[in-house]
Structure formats: C-alpha cells, structure tokens
Structure 1
C-alpha cells in the first residue's frame, strides 16, 4: 500500500465520554517519547446575531512535538461535530474558548494570549494592549472591550462535551504514509475513539504539481463531470456539513478560450476574482490564495476512518485523479454524469493507479451496482 504524493490528513474522530482530544495527544506523545503543548485552534461558526453572520472562535487544541521540535500530530476541535454530544452536560473544568465577531481581533488574541493560561487570565494581555481590563461576566465568562465599550473578545467555558470532538491532523507526509497513519489511528482505537455522526476525512495534496492553467482546467473539468459519482463510490457521509459543488462560473472561467494559455501567475489572478469557498467538495482556494504551510488541493468528500487501509485506498484514488489531470492532454467540460456502472468502470480503468488499488475500486463500484 504505497502513495507517491505529499499529503496531509485530517481525520474527524470522537472521544468516548470521560476522555478528550487531549488524552489522544498524550498517548501519541507517549508512544513517540514526545511532548504535548496546548494551542489555540481558529474556527468559525454561523451566528444567530443579526448583522453578524459568523462568530470567530479560538478553541483549545493539542500539538504533539518530538524532541527535535517537529510536529507529529495535532488534536483539535471541529465545530461541525455536534450530534454525538450531550449539550446538557456541565462544562469540563479548565476548558474554554475565545469568541469574537472580527477575525482580525481574534488573530491579535492568538498572537498575544497564551493558551496555557486559565480562562480567568488568558485575556489580560489583550486588555493591557487596549489600556482596559478583563471584566468577569455571567456563567464564568470574561469579556474585554475597548475604552468606548466596543467588544474585543470573550473567553467562555466550553459547552458541554465540547472537549470530545477531535480532528486528528498530520503534518504533510511524503513517505511511509500507511505506517505513520497506523501509529496515530491505533492510539485512537486503544482509547475507544469512534467515528462521529457527521465525521469526514479531508486530504490535503501538495499543490506544486497542479500549478499550471491546463492542469487546473483539467482537474476542474474532471471533478465537475465525475464528482457526484466519486462521492457515491467513496461513501461520502450524508450527514457531513459544509460540502457541495463549485459555482458554475468557475467552470465557465477555466474553459474560456485563452485560459489554458495563461501563465500560472495570470491564471491565479483571473481565478482570484471569483468568490471561492473552502466549504465545498474540493477546495481550490488554497491554490489561489495560499496561506503559510497550506499550499494544497483539499478533497473533503471522504468519510471518517479508524483504520488505515481504507484511508490509504481513498488517498490512492484521489492521487490517481490528480495525476490524470496533470498528464492528460486536454479534458473537456461535460455535464455531471449520472451513476452508471459502465461509465464508472471506464473512468477507473483510465486512471493511472496501481492495479491492486484499481481492483479495490472496481469491486466497490460493482457492489454499488
């Protein structure tokens, strides 16, 4: 079972009651003679407040760091994981989140506050920056506002069982993918972690080989045509949140007569005019608006896994699709295909994929019928 692409894995899991994502990080650290440090993990969630569509969050996560200072894994929260939690439970002592309605202010908090601090003290450096003070509020909250009363950030106890969701994130892996994943997933199994009701796996493929207008156009056309069939083939979780296909204007843009002749710099400039979102089946945004350490193509359609073999199989399938896009001369746009076994088999047979993986997916397609 071998892969030949640098890939980062994000696997959504759920800790059993009484345990947390911190327990998984500590077991992984124990197995590697490594350390654990508490970190802030930024996330956004829909808001019920009129005029404020999103609340920005910093939640508590845990990084496993080896003795050379290298990242082994992150265990962080994922706010899309909701249905397995008993929200009537009391907050777990010592766990909190920081909320703001402005992502810039939250970045300021992230850079100045110490995630190792307690809820009551964590926002004191922020208050100092604004020459004000941290004010205690109802329910254990701590609020910081500026001198005119405008809110900066609120630290609040974590809602009941919010410590249980765990997105297990690896650094980019370029060799021995299976062995390295098995060490992490076996630790989750030992502790009794399970697959969440809304669980998914996101794969981040290094984007360097996709930095070409013709390759990018091939990839978009390929996934536009076969995307829905791929979701059925891999068993996309119907309860996953934040999925969906691209807006059709992307398809129109990449099939303009001159797009394939553009340099990657000019192609990116044209693509940047679109309002791309990461919350879709296949996230292209990191290729167009790269952020540090995440110049990737992200496939978000896969279910969650507790075992390594099926995870490697879906990664091999996606890797083959990327290689197909990179090596084909020109893939033309076609309307999304309906599921027909023959067309799915034809697509799988065309992919540059190892035969044992091809057999796995041909068998899976046949079992769907």
Structure 2
C-alpha cells in the first residue's frame, strides 16, 4: 500500500500535565499568552467526580480555567483542572488566595451559575447573582464556604476554597485544528517544559476528531465494530496508561444497537436518536456521547486510550493511527474480519514500520 495523500482530519487535543510545586496552570496560561501575543481570561469549566453520599452518584463541579485568547479572538489554549490527577499532590495543603470551586448535585444548576456569575469574583460574592434569581442571599459558613439555597431552603450550589494543591493539575485543551497541528503543539509543550511541567502518573492524552464525516449509520456501525473487535489490541499497541481511570470498552448494548438492521436502515437523525438511547458514557476508551447528542460546541468522536506524553512526535503518531481507523470505516472496510488491523490501515510506510515493530516487540 502506497503512502496516503495528506488528508488532515479536523481535531483537537487534551494533554494532561502537572505544574511543579509553587506554580499553577494560571502560570502556564500566562506564559502561552505572552508568547502568542494574546490575553488570558478566567472561565468556569465543568468537572464531575464520584460521590460517597448515598443517592448522589457524582458531585458536579465548576473549576477555574484559564483561556488564552489570540489577537483575532481565537482560542490558543485552555488550561483547566482534571480531578483524576492526584498523585504527588499534598492533600493537606492550604488553599491559595482566589482559588475555588463551585459544587452542586445538579449540573443544570451549575450551568445557571456559569451563565450568570463572574469567575473573577471573590469567593464571598461569586454566587450572589444566582441567589438573586431565587430571591435569596448567600449564606456563609466556617471554612470560607459560600452557600446559596432557594426560598424553601433547598440547596442550589456552594463555593468553597480549593485546597490540596489543586491549582497544580493542568489539562491543556486546544482548539480544533483544521491543518497540521504539530507546530502548535510543539510550541504549547515547549512553554510547559520551560516552566517545569511534567507528565503526571495518571495522565492521558485525549484526541477529539470532528464527527461530521462519521454521521452515517453504516459508517458509525463499521467504526464501532472495529473498535469493539480491536479495542484491547489498540490499548496494548499504544500503551494505555494502567493508572488512568474512567476508561473501559464500548458497552455491549451500544454494539448490539449499531449492528441491528433497524439502525443500519435508518437515516442519520433516526440513527443518532437510537445511539443516544443506549446512553453512551464519556468515560470509555472511545467517547460516542458527543456525536450521539450532536453537541454544538463539541461535535466530536473522542479517543481516550493514549498515554500521557509531552512528546509531540508520539502524540501525532497516535493521532494518525486513529485517523486511519476512521478513514477505514468511511471507506467501507470496517466490518472485515481482519486479524491484522495494522495491515488494513492506510498508513505511511514510516508509521506502518513503527506499529509493526511495536506489535512484534509486544
């Protein structure tokens, strides 16, 4: 098979890093902005974490993120927390001034907070606009916590200082790149390296591919079939980090749904609805949630199996591997019973040699 023509797929990257003690993700955002001639603005960023409270499976969070905006208004990078990054942090460290998070048991209430509140406001004042919507005033409790309730004293949200060195984890989220992102990623990671950022023990690199070319029932069915059949092999091939959490195979119910005649015969709107009915989760090796719900700001297929890295060559090689899997599904070859997945992919001779050697070594 000859080297394929260069057909870049629109894609964005999420790269998990850790700041050295004494620095924070804000420091990285500032450095990127200085290099890029941009500015930094504080934003809210949603996160969820498991809860030990009975009847409440997760706590929903808004954490402070720092978006670097270029001179033309484009996103250069977004630096946010990732609650799965914990190793090496001092859980007893006191909160730094100005660092906080907002919690609720309902993500819809946090969406209201994000819409009406100012992430640059002080902890004591940050929830006041939402309290006013409910006709109440913020309440203050020990530990510097600000709480708001409705008129029936039902909890809406609370803002709390951010302890435990939670300012140090940094997930760099890029904008979707239309062209070759290698130079842009190299510059971002050079900024991080210059400040002493490192790859944490639990780290991963997530790659979001534009979902538009996949919006066809037959294409998506072939893609899911390939990932179901070869998922464990792909994890071994790329060296998925065993310390990563929130991973797992595509659910059997989803696989069976996309195999069904009803799904394969459906137009895309109906097929997408059928896909959404299987309730795909973000927290899997391959995230189909965004495409199932056609999220306007994140209409993507996300691959989450790649290990943490600051090596741009490795990150780009992994991206090309998954892109070849996507191209294979579009080309109609995704349902073949291949015993050698790499041989069936349209890869450059260099990439094919690398992955073949990796297979033999493994």
TM range, smaller chain:
over 0.9
What residue is the counterpart of 1:222 in the other structure?
Answer: 226
Instruction: Please give the secondary structure, in 2, of the residue aligned with 1:272.
Output: helix
User: Structure 2 stretches of 5 or more lacking a match?
Assistant: none
Deviations 1:148-195 (A, max 9, x none): 211111110002100001110000012131011101011111111111
CA–CA distance in structure 1, aligned partners of residues 274 and 144 of structure 2:
48
In the alignment, what sits opposite 1:233? 237
Corresponding residue of 2:162: 158
Residue 154 of structure 1 aligns to a residue whose secondary structure is strand
SS of match in other structure, 1:139? coil
Q: SS of the residue aligned with 2:277?
A: coil
CA distance in 1: counterparts of 2:359 and 2:175, whole angstroms? 31
- Output the CA distance in 2 between the equivalents of 1:222 and 1:233: 15
How far the C-alpha of 1:126 sits from its partner, in A, is: 1.5
1:26 matched to 2:30? The reply is yes
Deviation at 1:19, TM superposition (A): 0.5
- Is the counterpart of residue 354 in structure 1 residue 328 in structure 2? no
- Asked if 1:140 corresponds to 2:139, the answer is no
Q: How does 1:168-187 map to 2 (within 5 A)?
A: 168-187=172-191
Mapping of 1:117-136 within 5 angstroms? 117-136=121-140
Measured in 1, the distance between the counterparts of 2:73 and 2:147 equals 34
**Which shows bigger deviation, 61-70 or 264-273?**
264-273
**Contact 1:136–1:143 (Cα < 8 Å) also in 2:** yes
Deviation, 1:300, is 0.4
- Measured on the aligned residues, the alpha-carbon RMSD in Å equals 1.5
- The alpha-carbon deviation at position 275 of structure 1 amounts to 1.7
Whole-angstrom CA distance in 2 between matches of 1:251 and 1:70: 37
Q: Report if the CA contact (8 A) 1:214-1:330 is conserved.
A: no
> For the residues of structure 1 that align with 2:128 and 2:89, how far apart are their CA atoms?
31
Indicate whether 1:87 and 2:91 are aligned: yes
Superposition pairs for residues 1-369 of structure 1, below 5 Å? 4-329=8-333, 331=335, 343=339, 346-368=340-362
CA positional deviation for 1:134? 1.1
With 352-361 and 11-20 compared, the bigger mean Cα shift is at 352-361
- Does structure 2 retain, via aligned residues, the 8 Å contact 1:142–1:154? yes
TM-score (norm 2): 0.96
Name the SS for the 2:97 alignment partner. coil
Distance 1:105 1:274 in 2: 25
* Separation in 2, partners of 1:4, 1:71: 20
Measured against aligned partners, the alpha-carbon deviations of 1:44-94 in whole angstroms (never above 9, x if no partner) come to 111111121111101000000011111111000111111221101111111
Consecutive unaligned residues in structure 1, runs of 5 or more = 338-342
User: What CA deviation, in whole Å up to 9, does each residue of 1:5-53 have, x standing for no partner?
Assistant: 1001001111111000001111000101100001110111111111211
Query: Does the aligned pair in 2 maintain the 1:6–1:172 contact within 8 Å?
Result: yes
Aligned pair count reads 358
Partner of 2:231, secondary structure, is helix
Distance 1:167 1:3, change over 3 A: farther
